[in-house]
Structure 1
Amino acid sequence: LSPSLPPFINAPDTDFSIAQKRDRALAAIQTVRQQLGQTYLPLVNGQRVNTLEVIESVNPSNPSEVVGKVGLLSIEQADGAIAAAKAAFPAWKNTPASERAAILRRAADLMEQRRAELCAWMVLETGKVLGQADPEVSEAIDFCRYYADEMERLNAGVNFDVVGETNRYHYQPRGISLIISPWNFPLAIPTGMTVASLVAGNCTLLKPAETSSVIAAKLTEILIEAGIPAGVFQYVPSKGSTVGAHMVKHPDVHMITFTGSQEVGCRIYADAAILQPGQRHLKRVIAEMGGKNAIIVDESADLDQAVQGVVYSAFGYSGQKCSACSRVIVLEPIYDAFVNRLIEATKSLHVGIAESPDTKVGPVIDAQAQNRIKAYIEKGKEEATLALEMPAPDHGYFVGPTIFTNVSPNAKIAQEEIFGPVLAVIKATTFDEAMDIANGTLYALTGGIYSRTPSHLDRAKAEFEVGNLYINRHITGAIVARQPFGGFKLSGVGSKAGGPDYLLQFLEPRHISENIQRQGFAPIEGAEQ
């Protein structure tokens, strides 16, 4: 950190054990419920634009409840948004970094003021329970403040001066930036990707996932109130397969930042690589594409700690996190004892509507996800032993926590990302085998180990192929600046969100070397006017 910046302090989560704070959060849900069903239009060049196509975003706990109606941009309107961004770029590029950072800090303050309301929108639009939604607001606030600090640090540049010569290394923005955000962290992830792009000086278009477009509209309100100029930030909800793909390929777009599935991420990566007619740059792609994350539990592990951590990592937000634990690899001597305790602990989880205070496992996001997860459960019954399939409410998009044992490391349910509350328990006879199984997928995002054996911990630190390794703790819930998040292999490309390298991806480095061994200045007449 530069001397002028104090150490980063994360925003604290709400303590729901305090009755007053709990009551305020529950009251906010009822307040927001009175606002359901409104229409949210795209924001293009500072103006709301009418659209031919409108979709309904519904409450996954109760799909008959329409959270909001969202207008979807056409290709022609998306072209208009890109043109507006292009026109706004010169002024935004030349806006001092301190001013851009100040807007982010104002946005963070507004999020803190609207914390209970933002939580309520997440509960109702994406089925996220309060205990998971509140830390997400903290994460969004942290992204704003951390990237504001980081931009001020980077803006200082680096001087490599020698006698008679100055050498200045500094950064400039890339240009027009497209953000394609997911529904599973509907506030934190679009906030992080968007404000990183903005504070770096890029004109930024946010295309959120359709199922969480209302929350993205609330983020839009906050950024506009914080002072982002017209054309610099635009809210462009649209069909990903058509309009989204068109924007990815547009010759005036300089970079795409994506979080979502491996299939879509790889398509974006390929499309962005093609030089379009009139394009005068190569596009930068940042893509976070999921994982098949494992936790190893060895014979020396504290089983109370391990069971608790695995249950939280596997079934928090119904397993719909790219960081979630979907495989637990257990050493043979403790396998049976661990499995028995795991099943009993999972049975204690209450499955129900997201707004209920006692719910631990809410719905999955939509009917398509529900059907996909159920199909994997049926496949699991063919491949392995069904150890637990908890009942779930019929109304709404619910899937009960499901555990399979005697799972082969190469089974579909042990190799493919399910993105639901389904856990594969795999037996390993040796720690070497456990490590091989853990590394035996296409992904490298998060991983964990529960062990009290130093040599095993050292091996995991050196050889566990993951971007984020967690030791003797759960593997979800990375905290900005403390646990920068991101993976490699087919989990993605790009530097870690919430880390010291992240903003560099949104910037172009430049170097200026000047010979200063001259006898004063002799300007051309009239040139200094």
Structure 2
Amino acid sequence: MRWKDNGRFNEVYGKTLLGSHLINGTECRGELSFEVRNPAHAGDCVGNFPQASSEFIEQACRAAQGARASWQGLSEAERSLSFRHLADLLSGQQRFLAQLLARELGQAFPECLSEVQTWIDCAQRCARQERTSLLLPTEVREALQGVSLYLQESRAGMAVIPHLISNLYLGHPWVWLAPSALSATAYVLGRLFWQSGFPAGVCNLVLGADKDFSEYFPLYQQGLVQAFYLLGKADTLAKYSTLALPIQTLVLPEKPSVLVLRVETPFHRALETSFKACFEKNNNRFLKLRRIFVPQSIALAFKQGFLKAIQSLKIGDPSLNHQVDFGPLRMADDLALYLKHLQAGKAEGAELIYGKGRLSRASKPEPFIGDPDAGNYVWPSLWDKVSPEMKFAQADLKGPAVALIEIENHEQALDYLQGSPFQLI
């Protein structure tokens, strides 16, 4: 891999990665390029990468078509050998990949390690020829025969990787059109696929693909791809579900979520379970506004305990400290929505008992790791005196926010949830 000087950030974050499209065993760059910046510190240039173009995408699809017959002609036992190498390479590079994820996406380092482990586990299952553990039913994947084109929203993060591994095991070459925001990790992973011994043309990567998914559908009519895998939010993917195309939608778990506590649940268990449900997936992909229905009999003690727990969260730059629990919001749009939601809650009469909106050098929790003015950092927010009818409590929000809703009993909560958009967790 090639790197270039990153100025004063060399010692703090590392050098700037110079990436390429990976097509038919060759690294390709065009005239147009873009930079990926660290969401925890905009001054850090994570990498410089070539922009996607129709020429590169068509070239990648033709390469996959050329490799299709020979790859599908191998037995699963023969294909499994490459997955053993892939699992070994991923294991050897696990910490490096986790550090790159933390730098590129602003995710907490422990969660990055855990995510890379899911890739390792998937590769190991394929190496052991365990069809039963593939993410989609085998009959679904086998119905989508041929070259697969993977398209995704940026907020999907690296959820695509286990699908790429599983589909490859079943004999389907692919072209992965990675969005700009994920280019550094995608490029490094693409190189690891190559180094694992997969034949040229079986795995192809084109970076900087940020167009609407429909822009790529003509590739099917041209005979360049036989199946599409789309990753994103349900409302984004819904418009594609009725098209007469071989499309498999992979929906992210983005529905609003509710946790209902029972009166008979031991207090400490209720507190621990609730806090984990709200903050154990804080990697900017899963975290949503959580609504917790709390029985009145434990409401005061629960609120005090939850407040103490939320105050213990370590917020900051995950690249600078691997103990950080919550990093920056990845996108500026998420920050704007978070601040708008904060004002809406106050306007409707909910009580904000913890949180102050955007973090800054003048307004930050202690200790804070990093520079709060350099990224899209926010205070976690804890709301009290919330009713289910409040519009802000029904909104889909990206960010670390929790709303407490008092109830008399479990049945009352279920009555509230009848016909609501909430998803129980």
TM-score range, shorter chain: 0.7 to 0.9
Distance in 2, Cα, partners of 1:69 & 1:54? 7
- Measured against aligned partners, the alpha-carbon deviations of 1:459-500 in whole angstroms (never above 9, x if no partner) come to xxxxxxxxxxxxxxxxxxxxxxxxxxxxxxxxxxxxxxxxxx
Q: 2:411 aligns with which of 432, 435, 452?
A: 432
What's 2:52 paired with? 73
* Structure 1 residue 206, shift from structure 2 partner: 1.5
Distance in 1, Cα, partners of 2:45 & 2:194? 25
What's 2:354 paired with? 388
Does the 8 Å contact 1:32/1:117 carry over to 2? no
Secondary structure at the counterpart of residue 33 of structure 1: coil
- Measured against aligned partners, the alpha-carbon deviations of 1:64-108 in whole angstroms (never above 9, x if no partner) come to 101011222112321222222222211221121112222222211
* Structure 1 residue 181, shift from structure 2 partner: 4.2
* Structure 1 residue 215, shift from structure 2 partner: 0.7
What's 2:202 paired with? 232
Does the 8 Å contact 1:316/1:361 carry over to 2? no
What's 1:315 paired with? 279
Listed as ranges, the matches of 1:203-242 within 5 Å are 203-242=173-212
Distance in 1, Cα, partners of 2:116 & 2:10? 19
Unpaired stretches in structure 2, ≥5 consecutive residues: 1-8, 135-140, 365-371
What's 2:145 paired with? 174
Secondary structure at the counterpart of residue 160 of structure 2: helix
* Structure 1 residue 186, shift from structure 2 partner: 3.9
What's 1:293 paired with? 257
What's 2:167 paired with? 197
What's 1:466 paired with? none
Distance in 2, Cα, partners of 1:350 & 1:117? 22
Does the 8 Å contact 2:154/2:182 carry over to 1? yes
Secondary structure at the counterpart of residue 29 of structure 2: coil
Does the 8 Å contact 2:149/2:228 carry over to 1? yes
Do the aligned partners of residues 438 and 145 (structure 1) sit closer, same or farther apart at CA in structure 2, a change above 3 Å counting? farther
Q: Supply the AA of the counterpart residue of 1:301.
A: T
Do the aligned partners of residues 436 and 91 (structure 1) sit closer, same or farther apart at CA in structure 2, a change above 3 Å counting? farther
Of all paired residues, the percent bearing the same amino acid is 21
- Equivalent residue pairs, number: 393
Secondary structure at the counterpart of residue 394 of structure 1: helix
Secondary structure at the counterpart of residue 48 of structure 2: strand
* Structure 1 residue 399, shift from structure 2 partner: 1.1
Q: 1:108 aligns with which of 82, 87, 100?
A: 87
Listed as ranges, the matches of 1:107-186 within 5 Å are 107-149=86-128, 174-181=145-152, 183=154, 186=157
Distance in 2, Cα, partners of 1:241 & 1:72? 11
Secondary structure at the counterpart of residue 320 of structure 1: coil
Distance in 1, Cα, partners of 2:56 & 2:37? 25
What's 2:368 paired with? none
1:332 aligns with 2:304: no
Do the aligned partners of residues 407 and 381 (structure 1) sit closer, same or farther apart at CA in structure 2, a change above 3 Å counting? same
Distance in 1, Cα, partners of 2:184 & 2:133? 33
Secondary structure at the counterpart of residue 347 of structure 2: helix
Give the CA RMSD over aligned residues: 2.9
Distance in 2, Cα, partners of 1:319 & 1:436? 32
What's 1:38 paired with? 17
Do the aligned partners of residues 256 and 303 (structure 1) sit closer, same or farther apart at CA in structure 2, a change above 3 Å counting? farther
- Measured against aligned partners, the alpha-carbon deviations of 1:21-61 in whole angstroms (never above 9, x if no partner) come to xxxxxxxx988933x32221111222222234322111111
Distance in 1, Cα, partners of 2:116 & 2:308? 32
Q: Supply the AA of the counterpart residue of 2:146.
A: G
Does the 8 Å contact 1:290/1:443 carry over to 2? no
* Structure 1 residue 216, shift from structure 2 partner: 1.1
Secondary structure at the counterpart of residue 18 of structure 2: strand
Unpaired stretches in structure 1, ≥5 consecutive residues: 1-28, 156-169, 276-281, 449-529
Secondary structure at the counterpart of residue 77 of structure 1: helix
Secondary structure at the counterpart of residue 295 of structure 1: strand
Listed as ranges, the matches of 1:439-450 within 5 Å are 440-442=419-421, 444=423, 447-448=424-425
